[in-house]
Structure 1
Amino acid sequence: MSRKRVIVNGLVQGVGFRYYTEAQAGSLGLGGFVRNRADGAVEAEIEGDDAAVERMLDWLHTGPRSASVQSVQVTDLAEHGEASFSIRL
């Protein structure tokens, strides 16, 4: 089990990025959240099985077709035991 904070930069707001992220995380059985940041980036915290977290990180480097990801920053966090994934405003 692991938890990661991910900051995704590029054309990632106004393209459904959060909704696609929520769907992808749900399909992988991950917990955590995703939200837009004031600086135009999208921030997510993802938690779950190490293999599922790695698959999610791979997906976040591309995102949905409507997005254009320029960079992804990943930071390790302490686990919270969060089992569900949500969009935060």
Structure 2
Amino acid sequence: MMERYLIKVLGRVQGVGFRYFAQSLAGTYSITGTVKNCEDATVRIEAQGEEKNLNKFLAEIRKGNRFVKVEDIVAKKIPTADNEKSFKIVY
């Protein structure tokens, strides 16, 4: 079943390639949506996909990588978006 989440990611997530990291993971798990840096030093993600893939995506986001250090993730379900085909970085 398709789900969509609004996700706020806190930690060392700006200036470390996080948006590209998220975009790469989204491709791996067939996730569509957007990722954007916010003025409060967090990152905002809208992610849509099959629930099991979203769970895997979120687990990988939470792990981060050698540059990214995620301290917390706040996710809430939001309505799905029709006709969305890709995962984009928003500037």
Which category describes the TM-score, using the shorter chain as reference length? Answer: over 0.9
Moved over 6 A (4+): none
The structural deviation recorded for 1:9 is 0.4
User: What is the root-mean-square deviation of aligned Cα atoms in Å?
Assistant: 0.9
Q: C-alpha distance in 1, partners of 2:24/2:69? A: 18
Aligned residues: 89
Instruction: Give the alignment of 1:10-29 within 5 angstroms.
Output: 10-29=11-30
Shift of 1:31: 0.5
Whichever residue aligns with residue 33 of structure 2, its letter is: G
Which SS does the other structure have where 1:61 is aligned? helix
Moved more, 35-44 or 79-88: 79-88
Return the match for 1:86 from 82, 85, 88. Answer: 88
Identity among equivalent pairs (%) = 33
How far apart are residue 10 of structure 1 and its match? 0.6
TM-score (norm 2): 0.93
Q: What code does the residue aligned with 1:85 have?
A: F
Q: Which runs of 5+ in 2 are unaligned?
A: none
Aligned residue runs from structure 1 range 45-84, under 5 A: 45-81=46-82, 82-84=84-86
